[in-house]
Each structure stands twice: as C-alpha cells, then as structure tokens.
A and B are shown apart, each in its own frame.
Chain A
Amino acid sequence: MSPSRPLVGTLAMALLLGILALDMARSGVPDLFDAPAAIALGSGAAPGGAHCSGS
C-alpha cells in the first residue's frame, strides 16, 4: 500500500523545514539592512540573483 498523500506531502514539508533549519543554523539570518529593493524593475540596481542558465 502506498502512503497517503497527506503523509507524503507532510514529509516533503519536513524535508523543506529541515533544510531551512540547517541553513539557518549554519548561515545565520540575512542582514535586513543589506536586503535588495522590493522590486528589481525601477530599483536602479543590476540583478544579483543566480539563474540556471548561468554557469
């Protein structure tokens, strides 16, 4: 019998929370004073994020 959808979905949430908790423990919390503008368009700043198309 395959496990129920709620159980598997909850496991996926647990995996996500585990990664977030581990990351927070190792990387700390972001510096809010260093946070980018809410919206990139019109901010005057170059996009700083990474994308799958970049090497």
Chain B
Amino acid sequence: MFRHRALVLALMLGFTAFAFVMAGPRAGLLVMVGLGFGLVLEGLRFGFAGPWRSIVTDRDGRGMLAQLIAIALVAVVAFPMLAANPAELAPAHAPVGVAMILGAFVFGLAMQLVMGCGSGTLVNAGSGNLVGLIALAGFIGGSFAGTLHLDWWTGLGSLPVASMQSLAGPNAGLALTLAGLALVGGVTLARAAPGKRIPPARLWIAAALIAGLALANLVIAGQPWGIVYGLGLWGAKLAQAGGADLAQTAFWAAEGNATRLSASILTDVTSLTNIGLLLGAFAVMRWRASPGAPAQALTMASYAGVLVAALVLGYSARLAFGCNVGAFFSGISTGSLHGWVWLVAAFGGSMLGIRLRPMILRPLPAREAMA
C-alpha cells in the first residue's frame, strides 16, 4: 500500500510540475485545481447524475441539495467578482435555443445510461469503472462530432444571449439566482422522504470544496469550470492525427478554435482541469487501502449500448453548450439564463433515462460473470 501511495503522490506532483515547466505557472495551477476536483468528487462521493437519479427513484434529496449549495456559494462570490472585473473574467453565458434545449434533454437521458455526466465520466474512468472508461472514449468522439454540425443545429433558432445580469443587473441578478436555487431546493425538500433531506457532513464539506475550486478556476483561468470543450478538442486532435482536414469545418476553422487545435493541449484551460480531474480520481482509487470491487460486469450488448449512449452524451453536450458542469453548475452560478433552461430540459431527459436504464445496463448473468 505504501508503494501505491508513493506512486500516487509522485504521479500528482510529477504531472503538476510537468505542466508548470512545459506550459507555465497557469497550466500548473489549473492542473492542481483539476486534481482538487478529482479528489473531492471521488473522495467525498460528490456527483451530479447519481443524485438526480436518487431524488426520483429513492426520494433522496441530499446529493441534489449539496449541488445547489455549491452553486449558491459560487454565485455569491462570482457575481460581484464578474461585475468588478469584466475585462479579465468571463461568465459561462450561452444562448437559449432549439438545439440547446434538445441537446440538454438528450444529455440528461444519456447520462443516466452511462452512469455519469461530464465530470462523472472522467471520475468513473479514473477510479477504474469500465463503463466510465468506455463512456470517456465515446464522450471524446461525440463531443468532437458535435462540433462538426454545431452550425446547422444552432441555425434551427436561438434567442440572443440573456443572463440574470442583463435582465436585472448584478445585485438583483444574484438575488434572482439565489431565489431560483432556493425554489429548486424547496421542491427537492418537498419531494425527499424524511431522513433523506439534510445532506450529511461529507456533502457539506464537498460542496464547500467544490465551490472553492470552481472559484479558483474562475480566478486563475479567467473563465468558469468546464469539461466539454477540452474533450471535443482531444477528439479533434485524434481525428486530425487520423488524417481529417478540419480546416474545412466551420467550428475548427474559426480563429480561436483553429489556434487551440494547432497548439498544445497543455495551453487549453478545460483540458488541463480535465486531466487533473482524471488523475485526481485515479489517485483516490489507488490511495485507498482497497481499490474497491470491480464494477458490475455487463453483457457485451450493454457495453456497446454504453458506447453509443456516450457518443450521444458528448454530441448533445456540445449542442447544449455544456454539461452538468459547464451549463448547469457554471452557467447558473455565473448568471446564465441558459443554465436554468438546461436544468429543466436535462432533468426531464434524466427522468426518461432512468426508465430506459434497466434496458441498456444489463448485468452479466452470475454464471458467466464468474467464468
């Protein structure tokens, strides 16, 4: 165990130093932030997809409330910070549109089929869940594929970008955001069964740490925490290595995206935190005295289903302008109206996904699993 833990520490410190030396201090700091996300999400079992399922199937609202608390904590600091530093900090604002709503609905559905959202997929893969690893590969492919058709989808119609700040100003916008979170919290409490309402200490601590890390991300990177762009970029780089000419595509020919495509991954903000998150989850799994039992073995058809669902997950995240992290967590906590619409659409999709889940995730019969 000591050897495992020493290796884990060496891996975390080594990669942070690598990013620092190769790409500068901001890259090193962002890897550290990502590591923090991975350590907290896996170590304190803070998640997004699981609590959305628990409130529906088990009337357990504790995880959902922890999410809302974390978002509120970020909003209280981020709103005034964004208002005071508009030239240096950017919010996660995006337009509400037909494809965005459809994308969020499908994302919510698919995340229940792959047992994780954007951050959850990285955490699951890093912590040694085979479904998570398959989902990660699919997510990378899907989020890249989504960039190829984004123009067509956004052409279906969208509203101008609207935010709580643009509708009500920074102070009233923050009040509206907190009121909205309180409303969702109230609905969650009303739905939750007695004994499953108040989050345990573990989730309070996790919510505070996640909020602190999200604010660190904003201060260091100048933009909120995100997942999807980085994974799409990895897919684009793999496609380019395979011979694809992405200069012919609208998304990757656009100035900023073309620059990132030709530059090192170590200069991309979301890639750096994604790498840290994956490493952090792996570190927690290897740090434990026992890494835990392997995830339940599934039938081959189920693994194929997970791969397809993950492709859809990544594709829909691109259309929805973010996943649970970029759209829901960062969108709402920095005032984006699209974050709220995303929440409603994705929750609807999640409810359908919960119903479809037993049809896709079929355990391998015990006799075959033992073979």
Contacts and interface: CB of A to CB of B under 8 A. Distances in A.
B264 interface: yes
Contacts of B13: none
A22 B127 CA distance: 24
Contacts of B1: none
B54 interface: no
B294 interface: yes
By secondary structure, the B interface counts as helix
Given A9-B282, A40-B219, A1 B371 contact: yes
Given A1-B369, A5-B291, A22-B237, A53 B25 contact: no
Contact of B129 (A5, A40, A54, A55): A5
Contacts of B359: none
B265 A19 contact: yes
A6 to B, nearest CB: 5
Contacts of A40: 26, 88-89, 219-223
B270 A49 contact: yes
A38 B280 CA distance: 22
B292 A5 contact: yes
A12 B92 contact: no
Contacts of A35: 23-27
- Chain A interface bracket (under 10, 10 to 19, 20 to 34, 35 or more): 35 or more
B291 A23 contact: no
Contacts of B338: 53
Interface stretch (B68-76, B171-179, B184-192, B324-332): B324-332
Contacts of A24: 264
Interface string A19-38: 11011101111101001111
A16 B264 CA distance: 14
B128 A8 contact: yes
B127 A5 contact: yes
Interface string B271-282: 000010011011
Contacts of A42: 88
Nearest to A36: B26
Contacts of B25: 35, 38
A29 B264 contact: yes
Contacts of B297: 1-2
A7 to B, nearest CB: 7
Contacts, number: 214
B94 A12 contact: no
- In this complex, the member of B27, B90, B278, B298 whose beta carbon has the largest number of chain A beta carbons within 10 angstroms is B90
A22 B264 CA distance: 10
A24 B8 CA distance: 24
Contacts of B256: 48, 50
Nearest to B326: A52
B159 interface: no
B88 A50 contact: no
B369 A2 contact: yes
Interface stretch (B44-52, B55-63, B226-234, B304-312): B226-234
Contacts of A4: 128, 291, 294
A13 B282 contact: yes
Interface of A: 1-9, 11-13, 15-16, 19-20, 22-24, 26-30, 32, 35-55
CB-CB nearest 7 A-B residue pairs: A5-B128, A35-B24, A40-B222, A47-B222, A52-B326, A49-B269, A9-B128
Given A4-B291, A49-B222, 19 more contacts: A2-B297, A6-B291, A8-B128, A8-B130, A13-B126, A13-B278, A15-B136, A15-B137, A16-B278, A23-B264, A23-B265, A39-B29, A40-B222, A41-B88, A44-B87, A50-B269, A53-B226, A53-B326, A54-B94
Interface of B: 22-27, 29, 81, 85, 87-90, 92-94, 125-130, 132-133, 136-137, 150, 154, 218-224, 226-229, 233-234, 237-238, 240-241, 256-257, 260, 262-270, 275, 278-279, 281-282, 285-286, 291-298, 317-318, 321-323, 325-327, 330-331, 336, 338, 369-371
